[in-house]
Amino acid sequence: MRIGELAARAGTTTRTLRYYEARGLLPARRDDKGHRWYDESDLRLLTQIRTLQDFGFGLEETRPFVECLRAGHPQGDSCPASLLVYRRKLEELDALIGQLTAAREEVAGQLARAERARDELAAEALVPGGPEPVCELGGPTR
């Protein structure tokens, strides 16, 4: 198949395919007229690359999976190098999850503090002779 058909079937652009070719991830085969041509195995490579990128893998991180497929394995993740990339990505994701969890706990704590302060001010405003409520945009509300 020609480059346009492969791009359409893979849901990408011909520019992206040329970039992958330049990076050595996609084979650079040409017919007798100099046109690029591809087969179903190239579509499998692209599907593997795009799936991994959808999961947050960088382009270079897809290389072991592509090489595994090129070596004739039925799946791009059945080689030791691919498994190593999976392990590293999981460590990276776990670290990010930890950072996000800590940030979430901090925001939740700030929210709770702000709500308590608001509730205390509202309770004081209901007490006769308590402070007059103030609108944040200016001036008393009464």
Domain layout of the chain by residue ranges: 3-126
* DSSP code per residue over 33-91: TS-B---HHHHHHHHHHHHHHHTT--TGGGHHHHHHHHTT-SSTTSSHHHHHHHHHHHH
pLDDT in tens, 32-48: 999 999 999 999 999 99
Give the pLDDT score at 76. 95
| Average pLDDT of every residue of the chain | 91
Give the pLDDT score at 115. 93
pLDDT in tens, 71-121: 999 999 999 999 999 999 999 999 999 999 999 999 999 999 999 999 888
Mean pLDDT of 51-66: 96
* Fold category of 3-126 in CATH: Multidrug-efflux Transporter Regulator; Chain: A; Domain 2 (1.10.1660)
- Give 41's contacts (C-beta < 8 A, 6+ positions apart): 69
45 and 26 in contact (C-beta within 8 Å)?
Answer: yes
The verdict on pTM exceeding 0.75 is no
User: Which band of pLDDT confidence, cut at 50, 70 and 90, is reported for residue 123?
Assistant: confident
Give the pLDDT score at 68. 97
| Residues of the chain above pLDDT 90, percent | 81
113 and 120 in contact (C-beta within 8 Å)?
Answer: no
Chain centre to alpha carbon of residue 6: 24
